[in-house]
Amino acid sequence: MRMINFIKKIELHKQKEKDLKINSENNENGFEYSAKNQDLIKEIKIICNELDKTNMWFQMENDSDLIDACIHQREVLNARYRYLMNKIKFDKIS
């Protein structure tokens, strides 16, 4: 049963990745971002997706060493996310 739920979650993430590609090409506001800003926004979306995957991995893991690896990976992704958000605030991207 857990394996079926895991497979369903993976399929949902694959669909989200496809949606991210479509949304990054077509901005909802019709506003054109510069190439640099588009790269930042795309990277933030990727980081958020990776955080979701890491949290899913954490919830399903049983081995204590791999749980530590999940926690470490989550901290790495959170640090990268904070860095990118600060960069966006500094550059005043909306």
pLDDT of residue 4: 57
pLDDT of residue 17: 60
Annotated domain spans of the chain: 2-91
pLDDT of residue 22: 46
Where do the DSSP E strands lie in 32-71? none
Mean pLDDT in consecutive groups of 10 residues from the start of the chain, 94 residues:
58 61 52 76 92 91 92 95 89 63
Q: Are 45 and 24 spatial neighbours (Cβ–Cβ below 8 Å)? A: yes
Does pTM top 0.75 for this prediction?
A: no
pLDDT of residue 36: 78
pLDDT of residue 5: 61
